[in-house]
Amino acid sequence: MRFVNLLSFSLLQASAVLSTLLDDRSAKDIASKRPNHPIQPHHPGKAFQSSPERNKTCTVKSSGNGKDDSENILQAIKECNNGGHVVFPKNEKFTIGTALDLTFLKHIDLDIQGTIQFTNDTVYWQANAFKQGFQNATTFFQLGGEDVNVYGGGTLDGNGQAWYDLYAKDIYILRPILFGAIGLEGASISDLKFRYSPQWYTLVANSSDVVFSNIDIFGGSVSKNPAKNTDGWDTYRSDNIIIQNSHIDNGDDCVSFKPNSTNIVVQNLVCNGSHGISVGSLGQYAGEVDYVENIYVYNISMSNASDGARIKVWPGAASALSGDLQGGGGLGAVKNVTYDGMSLSNVDYAIEITQCYGQKNITLCNQFPSNLTISDITIKNFEGTTSKKYDPLIGYLQCSSPKVCSDIKIENVNVKSPSGTNLYACGSITGIETQVNCKSDGKKGGDS
């Protein structure tokens, strides 16, 4: 009897080991190969550390039927942290209904082949999403740590319709951001689809050495209530960031460089329906110092947008753009920013530079000039057509004082309005009249 029991026990052990080996082999079989997207043609200059191969594979199991998979996801990530590869299998749908703090990641690949959808429980997320300390930004999750790769060809879905409808009733609700890269050092995020974010699609905060490649962003409302503030990317207190080779169809900034964004390259993007590639807004909070420096934007296709290249700075006194967006009086600088190559179609302004963001009264703006300077700006090699909105104007260049706005160069901009003109509204920028055709009265052709 003892021999039989021992034999049975040994067979059970062997079966368990074999099952584990088969599961591991099966996981490896369905794992994606990590993509290789070269950073080209432009590079911020700082080298990126290599990411070693992973030595373990874990598979996330879907509970199905809309059940919360957060626990399964967290378990797989913890099991494969420090050198592993986590697979979200193709053709499977995962539901997240719990705020996940994933800022502990180290040497890990997240291979998202299936679909991850966040629940539309607006009450829960307003109470539990992670507050990021800038413009009431919150995120469904926080992805942070070091040496992290996220890819796989799958989809992250923010289930935004409930939020678009709720925001139409109450502009003060806290809408989560779909993808939160928070405290991420050394990472690549590529080959993913982002859909229906409640607010911004991506926030990159307190991060460095991060590359985004081949990201497809899309999402609009199916009701009368539009999807508002759906920026593609917002960078904040981050350095050495690349955003490249992506397609963005959204309703706000295609990319926005928020305070203390430095050494960033944005290249080879197709943007539709956006508010342009934007610096800012900056200087929103009185007494705080905002810097945006060393930015290169290259080879952008911009269609059906409010702006192409845009720099937006708050004036020196308090102003209000809307009930949930107001400010002014902040300090700092925008310096060494280049927009090189943009193809425009049906864009309201090809170029917009303002230090009067949120202040429609230009006289009042000039009485309280911005405390944040703009200098060493180059905008070149633009072509295309603007929309009818501000015709005959194609651009708006309005600083609050020549003393805080200097060294702005605009060259080889071959953009026409529908009526065939290339006029700009200009004000308080020394020497700009020798570079572009300024409208004589310097007034803006409409609201921004």
DSSP calls for 90-131: TT-EEEE-S-EEEEEEEEEEEEE-SEEEE---HHHHHHHSEE
Q: What's the Cα-to-Cα distance from 83 to each of 56, 207, 208, 313, rounded to whole Å? A: 7, 21, 20, 43
Q: Is residue 41 part of a domain?
A: no
Q: Map residue 265 onto helix, strand or coil.
A: strand
Same domain for 129 and 263: no
Cis peptide before 41, with omega less than 30 degrees from 0?
yes
Domain boundary among 217, 242, 267: 242
Per residue in 216-247, pLDDT (tens digit) is 999 999 999 999 999 999 999 999 999 999 99
Q: Map residue 335 onto helix, strand or coil.
A: strand
Q: Is residue 345 part of a domain?
A: yes
Q: Is residue 48 part of a domain?
A: no
- How many domains does the chain divide into? 2
Same domain for 421 and 288: yes
Q: pLDDT by residue for the chain (448 residues), tens digit each?
A: 444 454 444 444 544 443 343 355 566 779 999 999 999 999 998 899 999 999 999 999 999 999 999 999 999 999 999 999 999 999 999 999 999 999 999 999 999 999 999 999 999 999 999 999 998 999 999 999 999 999 999 999 999 999 999 999 999 999 999 999 999 999 999 999 999 999 999 999 999 999 999 999 999 999 999 999 999 999 999 999 999 999 999 999 999 999 999 999 999 999 999 999 999 999 999 999 999 999 999 999 999 999 999 999 999 988 888 888 888 999 999 999 999 999 999 999 999 999 999 888 888 888 999 999 999 999 999 999 999 999 999 999 999 999 999 999 999 999 999 999 999 999 999 999 999 999 865 444 333 3
Q: Residue written as tokens 């990317």?
A: 233
Same domain for 284 and 181: no
Same domain for 318 and 287: yes
Same domain for 261 and 204: no
Same domain for 405 and 291: yes
Same domain for 184 and 292: no
Same domain for 138 and 194: yes
Domain boundary among 242, 267, 286: 242
Domain boundary among 242, 275, 294: 242
Q: Is residue 8 part of a domain?
A: no
Look at residues 337, 278, 265 and name the one whose alpha carbon lies nearest to residue 311: 278
- CATH number where 266 lies: 2.160.20.10
Same domain for 201 and 264: no
Q: Is residue 103 part of a domain?
A: yes
Q: Which of 42, 85, 107, 275 is catalytic?
A: 275
Classify 268 in phi/psi space as left (phi over 0), alpha (psi -120 to 50) or beta. Answer: left
Q: Alpha-carbon distance 46 to 40, whole Å?
A: 13
Q: What's the Cα-to-Cα distance from 105 to each of 84, 154, 183, 192, rounded to whole Å? A: 10, 20, 10, 19
* 275 classed as catalytic: yes
Pairing of strands 261-272, 238-249: parallel
Please count the residues of the chain.
448
Q: Alpha-carbon distance 321 to 241, whole Å?
A: 29
Per residue in 323-337, pLDDT (tens digit) is 888 889 999 999 999
DSSP state of 180: E
Same domain for 101 and 237: yes
Q: Alpha-carbon distance 375 to 406, whole Å?
A: 5
Q: What's the Cα-to-Cα distance from 344 to each of 278, 301, 341, rounded to whole Å? A: 15, 6, 10
Same domain for 234 and 327: no
Same domain for 282 and 217: no
Burial 64-78 (b: 16+ CB within 10 A, else e): eeeeebbebbeebbb
Q: Is residue 20 part of a domain?
A: no
DSSP state of 136: T
Q: Map residue 387 onto helix, strand or coil.
A: coil
Burial 114-137 (b: 16+ CB within 10 A, else e): bbbbbbbebeebeeebbebeebeb
Q: Is residue 10 part of a domain?
A: no
Helix (H) or strand (E) holding 205: strand 202-205
For residue 140, what are the domain limits?
56-161+174-242
pTM for this prediction: 0.92
- Residue 220 CB coordination number (10 Å): 15
Q: Is residue 75 part of a domain?
A: yes
